[in-house]
Structure 1
């Protein structure tokens, strides 16, 4: 059975989507960018700082869904400049250090609200 997830510890959805949806055993998150939980966009922050904010948001959504970063199976990272991969990766690995999930990183033309990075995940519950 599908259930939607909402937490005030991550930014509210800015469109017609949920922060995450779950089934009995899986969590699918929406993409997280460098929006603070109170809705402040950190577009001027470095790619590393934006990555940390996006992953902090992702952690809050997963926690609300009854999951966590250790339960993530797959991550997709979208970068508005693929040359920022190394800076993103350095920040990313501080969140997934022991047994990191599978991951794809994709260069895109633009991201919402001028973000440099957007991150989504699939996790188990």
Structure 2
């Protein structure tokens, strides 16, 4: 089975030794996204809700580059420096996903790259 590297300028460039996503067969593994604006590589704001929106926008851009959408996600991992923000994640997530929703994990962490408040990664399954 061959691997295809997925890359788009509509999401932040990788800031390390990784790809934005890797497609293997019909499965796409999306690397973690933090709330960087692709054009500036700066945080969208310090507001956690705006950061969550930006992360979903970044994941959406990578999913689109892979030939899919957020609705093809089968697994979503959410990393938060403050788990009390999880209700905000639920509220914002409902704006980006339709039921049935992907399997999901929410993990509280001490810190994230560049001081982000949220990071998410995921796995999507394409039909073709």
TM-score normalised to structure 1 length: 0.94
Which residue does the alignment assign to 2:123?
122
Q: Give structure 1 regions of 4+ aligned residues with deviation exceeding 6 angstroms.
A: none
Q: Tell me, what secondary structure is at the counterpart of 2:36?
A: coil
Task: Report the counterpart of residue 89 of structure 2 in structure 1.
Answer: 88
* Partner residue in 2 for 1:105: 106
Over the aligned positions, Cα root-mean-square deviation in angstroms equals: 1.0
- TM-score, structure 2 normalization: 0.92
Show structure 2 runs of 5+ residues with no match.
none
SS in structure 1 at match of 2:12: coil
After superposition, residues 56-67 of structure 1 pair within 5 angstroms as 56-67=57-68
Matched-pair contact (CA < 8 Å) for 1:82–1:107:
yes
Q: Which structure has the highest strand share of the two?
A: 2
Report 1:60-75 matches (<5 A): 60-75=61-76
Equivalent-residue separation in structure 1 for 2:28 and 2:52 (angstroms): 20
Q: How many residues are aligned here?
A: 124
